[in-house]
């Protein structure tokens, strides 16, 4: 018996059209606003009875990465699921300023017979004669974005040289912005308490828990993280100074600090009213240095050094964590890490921090760093320390410190 496969037919034979709109900044003109773009396209589609509007997708944020534009990604998913036949967009630059990414998503859409039409360039991705022009325009869009980025970086470098900085949303615990200056606010007491307790010998994990009981929370309503407190303890802002340009400028595509780009920092002394006096600041830095030297010394085990030694600490007691071989179910051996005090404690007097499998630990670090898989070389270059707690693992990225 001969079997003939018949292609599935949609009940609605109209061309299902979606619209993608985006504005790059809040400074775009009214002609480029989201509402103006949406209204124009809805009116335009209304002139074609054979078309059916299935959705208007819009993002009001800039950037080269499509993953940071939720509506764009939703449109791509809907198109790949067969819900869209054609996408209308004002320009190639609005669709994507990343040439490789632009080509990637238009190719994905073409595999599903979904064409993208760009109004300004009069291009359609299903027209083979436009292939070269489309590639050229997407490259031009990326180059334009790169040029804008370089101009912004130049402006930032000049402001750093002059000692000027933008406080932005002012997310510094203990400070408010008044006439462009940092001024201690009603939360300043919690900052002083953090520094004082650490100088007195308390662990960061204990400080975090005690402050949470007193109602000291982040703007998101969560307790101060271990990594956040550690950063505060080394943040010169609390002693009244300000270090401008702490890290390498970010790469346009990856959005990560680019170690190949040189930069100059500018350390401003007595820039604003301090929360922590010099004596307390020095005591905290002295303890941090002593702990670092202790951790470094404990990093060698049997004459060999694992790349995690000197990087991995117990969030509860602050001790370094040690690597060990554990025998599990049916005699299966695996590598794991536990607190040094737990390993050396006797009669129940040691730290009670959990043991964590090395495989799970590396997977969590990679996830927090945004890596597809764990990379030892990148770990050593980019990670300052890892704090392992009972309920969470906190990865602290490296920061460029003042010389």
DSSP assignment of 258-286 equals: -TTS----EEESS-S--SS-HHHHHHHHH
Per-residue pLDDT of 70-83, as tens digits, reads 899 999 999 999 99
R_g of the chain computed on alpha carbons: 28
Per-residue pLDDT of 36-47, as tens digits, reads 777 888 888 888
Q: pLDDT confidence of 348, banded at 50, 70, 90?
A: very low
What's the confidence (pLDDT) of residue 157?
A: 57
Q: pLDDT confidence of 61, banded at 50, 70, 90?
A: low
Q: Outline which parts of the chain fall under CATH 3.40.50.1390.
A: 15-147
What's the confidence (pLDDT) of residue 84?
A: 94
What's the confidence (pLDDT) of residue 62?
A: 57
Q: pLDDT confidence of 191, banded at 50, 70, 90?
A: very high
Q: Outline which parts of the chain fall under CATH 3.90.1750.20.
A: 171-283
What's the CA gap between 205 and 208, in Å, rounded? 5
What's the CA gap between 339 and 316, in Å, rounded? 9
Mean pLDDT of the 187-216 span: 89
Mean pLDDT of the 79-100 span: 85
CATH topology of domain 15-147: Rossmann fold (3.40.50)
CATH topology of domain 171-283: Hect, E3 ligase catalytic domain fold (3.90.1750)
Q: pLDDT confidence of 98, banded at 50, 70, 90?
A: confident
Q: pLDDT confidence of 17, banded at 50, 70, 90?
A: very high
Backbone angles phi, psi at 224, to 5 degrees: -60, 130
Per-residue pLDDT of 220-273, as tens digits, reads 777 888 778 888 898 888 998 887 766 655 654 555 665 665 656 667 788 888
What's the confidence (pLDDT) of residue 139?
A: 62
Average pLDDT over the chain, rounded to whole?
77
What's the CA gap between 76 and 349, in Å, rounded? 57
Per-residue pLDDT of 274-316, as tens digits, reads 999 999 999 999 988 887 666 555 555 455 578 888 888 888 7
- Distances, alpha carbon 393 to alpha carbons 26, 205, 252, 328, 357, in Å: 37, 12, 29, 23, 13
What's the CA gap between 67 and 46, in Å, rounded? 31
Structure tokens at 188: 């300043």
pTM, 2 dp? 0.46
Q: Which residue has the higher pLDDT, 205 or 51?
A: 51
């Amino acid at each position: 018996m001969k079997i003939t496969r018949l292609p599935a037919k949609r009940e609605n034979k109209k061309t299902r059209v979606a619209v993608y709109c985006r504005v790059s900044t809040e400074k775009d003109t009214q002609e480029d606003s989201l509402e103006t773009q949406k209204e124009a396209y809805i009116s335009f589609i209304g002139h074609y009875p054979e078309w059916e509007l299935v959705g208007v997708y819009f993002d009001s944020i800039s950037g080269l990465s499509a993953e940071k534009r939720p509506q764009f990604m939703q449109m791509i998913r809907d198109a790949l699921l067969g819900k869209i036949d054609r996408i209308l967009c004002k320009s190639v630059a609005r669709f994507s300023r990343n040439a490789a990414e632009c080509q990637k998503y238009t190719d994905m859409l073409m595999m599903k017979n979904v064409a993208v039409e760009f109004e300004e360039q009069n291009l359609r991705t299903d027209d083979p004669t436009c292939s070269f022009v489309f590639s050229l325009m997407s490259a031009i869009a990326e180059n334009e974005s790169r040029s804008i980025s370089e101009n912004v970086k130049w402006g930032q470098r000049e402001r750093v040289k002059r000692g000027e900085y933008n406080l932005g949303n002012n997310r510094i615990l203990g400070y408010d912005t008044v006439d462009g200056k940092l001024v201690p606010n009603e939360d300043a007491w919690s900052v002083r308490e953090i520094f004082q307790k650490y100088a007195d010998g308390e662990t960061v994990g204990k400080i975090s828990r005690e402050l949470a009981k007193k109602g000291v929370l982040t703007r998101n309503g969560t307790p101060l993280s271990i990594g956040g407190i550690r950063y505060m303890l080394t943040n010169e802002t609390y002693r009244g100074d300000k270090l401008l340009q702490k890290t390498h400028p970010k790469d346009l595509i990856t959005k990560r600090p680019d170690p190949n780009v040189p930069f100059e920092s500018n350390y401003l002394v007595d820039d604003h009213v301090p929360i922590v006096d010099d004596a307390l600041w020095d005591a905290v830095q002295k303890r941090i240095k002593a702990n670092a030297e202790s951790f470094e010394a404990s990093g060698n085990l049997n004459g060999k050094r694992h790349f995690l030694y000197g990087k991995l600490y117990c969030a509860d007691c602050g001790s370094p964590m040690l690597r060990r071989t554990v025998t599990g179910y049916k005699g299966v051996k695996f590598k794991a890490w536990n607190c040094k005090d737990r390993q050396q404690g006797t009669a129940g007097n040691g730290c009670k921090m959990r043991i964590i499998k090395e495989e799970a630990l590396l997977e969590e670090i990679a996830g927090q760093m945004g890596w597809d898989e764990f990379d030892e070389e990148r770990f050593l270059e980019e990670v300052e320390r890892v704090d392992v707690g009972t309920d969470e693992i906190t990865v602290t990225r490296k920061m460029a410190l003042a010389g």
